[in-house]
Amino acid sequence: MYGDVGKSQSSNGGSPYAIQQDPQIGQLKAALLKDIARSVYVYRIDCGGCNGCEIEIFASITPVFDVERFGIKVVSSPRHADVLVYTGSMTRSMRIPALRAYHAAPEPKITVAYGACGCAGGIFHDLYCTWGGADKIVPIDVYIPGCPPTPAATIFGFAMALGLLGQKLKTSHHVQGEDEHALPRHPEIRPGLRVEIEREARRMAGYYHGKQIAEAFLDLLKVGDFNKTKANLQDYLSQKDDPRLAEIMGKLQDIYQAQS
């Protein structure tokens, strides 16, 4: 749907529906952790498992293992999470909820594939109703293998994930000056026109995909040169070969032409 917007072939030869991590987010994750100033919040997504992994995860937060002594807390919403833990093989019916949880969590975030099924699909890897492991759909930072992993392995895996959380701490401190202002994206385009383009794209394609399509359209705009903009759009759409995307882009082009 909507061409290749929001989709790409994963680097390990996974599903063509796997999303690709933004390079800037990858650079943030590359910064190593020095000190964690607060607890780290973990959210779990069950993509289609037997609940064996869930039993071990919750065993790790009991007083016996007490993973919270390391500042690791389980939360009930992905919007509060620093770490997303995917358990079970990625079933087709859970692909969209798994993606929703991924997009709901604030950037930058750490994703963990938990258990044999989460890492590679387990015994269900070639089943007709599964995609395989979690990395077929979302980019994975940490793998915790096992069927299921023990609480000790769980704590060790989470500790590794914490080592990737350097992006949660800024390596430098910047004080904004009085005359310093953050520029919006595409400052050369009038705010009213940008709002109308984003609003129409989201109306036709939904909030998430509409935002991506609007950004792609604005990137192709050549302010003051409608012919160049039209040529850029034709080249872009010829590569995508998606009639619905062409229809949406055509509507955005009409809005731009009417207000230019």
| Residue 230 predicted with pLDDT over 90 | no
Say if residue 139 is in the same domain as residue 45: yes
Given a contact cutoff of 8 angstroms between Cβ atoms, the answer to whether 120 and 140 are in contact is: no
Question: Is residue 245 included in any domain, yes or no?
Answer: yes
Domain assignment present for 108 = yes
Nearest to 99 by CA among 134, 75, 68: 134
161-171 tens-digit pLDDT: 666 454 444 44
> Does the residue 139 lie in any domain?
yes
Most confident of 103-107, 187-191, 198-202, 224-228: 198-202
Q: Are residues 128 and 47 in the same domain?
A: yes
**Is the pTM higher than 0.85?**
no
Tens of pLDDT, residue by residue over 116-134, are: 888 888 888 788 888 888 8
Query: By residue range, what is the domain housing residue 226?
Result: 191-259
Total number of domains constituting the chain: 2
CA dihedral of 181, 186, 192, 198, whole degrees rounded to 10:
-120
Cis peptide before 191 (omega within 30 of 0): no
In a domain? residue 184: no
195, 164: one domain: no
